[in-house]
């Protein structure tokens, strides 16, 4: 079941339910794509009709961020829980390892995807990473060809929003994968080039604060969060659907 949060139709699922949805998608023909919008992406989509259309057209729409969950409660359409993309990807890799399916990693700086692959294989025994490519490319056609040649079942697209969403939507007919997942900076987290917040901060939904302390230059981007919440309050007051 999907729940509308300011125009974006989120799958209203727990992490376990999201994994089950992904398993179902993997069994279908064609290339599906999964998006993981946080409050920044949703706020941007409110002012970008093309991005909003891409989010609405996704096969899986997972709420990556406490801000989205808070907004859903403000709007009286509560989502069950936050389903962080990086944690979802970890659960999905367990499924791939168990079912003998292959994974391709696309994104980040040169060398990061390779380092992430090593860590992923160590953390998820049996996982097969069939190829990697960095996100520094101009011509997308050779990238698509390389992914198809590798015979990947699943593609992690870590190009940052909204570039990754546009890439997935643009090439869903060209790629022979079963599922693409837009996962932002997840490869950096797996490779260790960017450290995640301590678990207690993640549990308290303070991961955004940890990242801000570590990367003060993110302050401008972080300002989207209060704007997003204020917009949600405005929608609630006006009774907007």
Angle between helices 140-150 and 163-171 (to 10 degrees): 60
The CA R_g of the chain, rounded to the nearest whole Å, is 17
| Ranges of each domain in the chain | 2-184
pLDDT of residue 197: 62
Cβ contacts of residue 230 below 8 Å, gap of 6+?
none
| Alpha helix segments (H runs only) across 47-107 | 49-56, 66-74, 85-99
Look-up: residue for tokens 């960017």?
Answer: 194
The pLDDT tens digits for 161-216 are: 999 999 999 999 999 999 999 999 999 999 988 776 677 666 766 666 656 566 66
Q: Which residues of 46-77 are buried (b: 16+ CB within 10 A; e: fewer)?
A: beeeebbebbeebbbbbbbbbbbbbbbebbee
The pLDDT tens digits for 108-160 are: 999 999 999 999 999 999 999 999 999 999 999 999 999 999 999 999 999 99
Distances (CA, A) of 95 to 42, 117, 235: 28, 16, 39
Cβ atoms of residues 40 and 231 within 8 Å: no
Question: SS3 helix, strand, coil % of the chain, rounded to 5?
Answer: 50, 15, 35
pLDDT of residue 183: 97
CATH (residue range 2-184): 3.40.50
State pTM to two decimals.
0.92
Run of H or E including 128: strand 128-133
**Average pLDDT over every residue of 44-52:** 96
What is the percentage of the chain residues whose pLDDT exceeds 70?
Answer: 89
- Of 201, 195, 22, 186, which Cα lies nearest the Cα of 120? 186
CA pair distance 1, 202, nearest whole angstrom: 26
Quick one: pLDDT band at residue 238, thresholds 50, 70, 90? confident
Bridge partners (DSSP) of residue 128 are 102
Run of H or E including 120: helix 112-123
Cβ atoms of residues 155 and 175 within 8 Å: yes
């Amino acid at each position: 079941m999907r729940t509308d949060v300011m125009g974006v139709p989120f799958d209203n699922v727990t992490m376990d339910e999201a994994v089950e949805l992904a398993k179902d998608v993997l069994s279908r023909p064609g290339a599906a794509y999964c998006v993981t919008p946080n409050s920044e992406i949703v706020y941007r989509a409110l002012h970008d009709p093309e991005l909003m259309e891409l989010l609405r057209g996704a096969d899986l729409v997972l709420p990556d961020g406490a801000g989205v969950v808070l907004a859903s409660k403000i709007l009286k359409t509560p989502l069950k829980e936050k389903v962080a993309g990086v944690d979802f990807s970890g659960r999905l890799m367990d499924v791939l390892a168990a079912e003998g399916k292959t994974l391709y990693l696309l994104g980040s700086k040169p060398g990061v995807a390779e380092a992430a692959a090593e860590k992923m294989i160590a953390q998820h025994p049996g996982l097969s990473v069939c190829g990697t490519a960095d996100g520094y490319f101009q011509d997308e056609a050779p990238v698509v060809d390389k992914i198809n040649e590798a015979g990947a079942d699943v593609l992690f697209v870590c190009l940052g929003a909204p570039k990754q969403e546009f890439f997935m939507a643009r090439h869903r007919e060209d790629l022979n994968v079963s599922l693409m997942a837009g996962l932002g900076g997840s490869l950096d987290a797996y490779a260790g080039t960017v450290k995640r917040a301590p678990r207690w901060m993640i549990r308290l939904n303070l991961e955004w604060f940890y990242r801000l302390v570590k990367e003060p230059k993110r302050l401008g981007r972080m300002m989207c969060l209060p704007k997003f919440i204020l917009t949600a309050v405005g929608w609630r007051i006006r009774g907007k659907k």
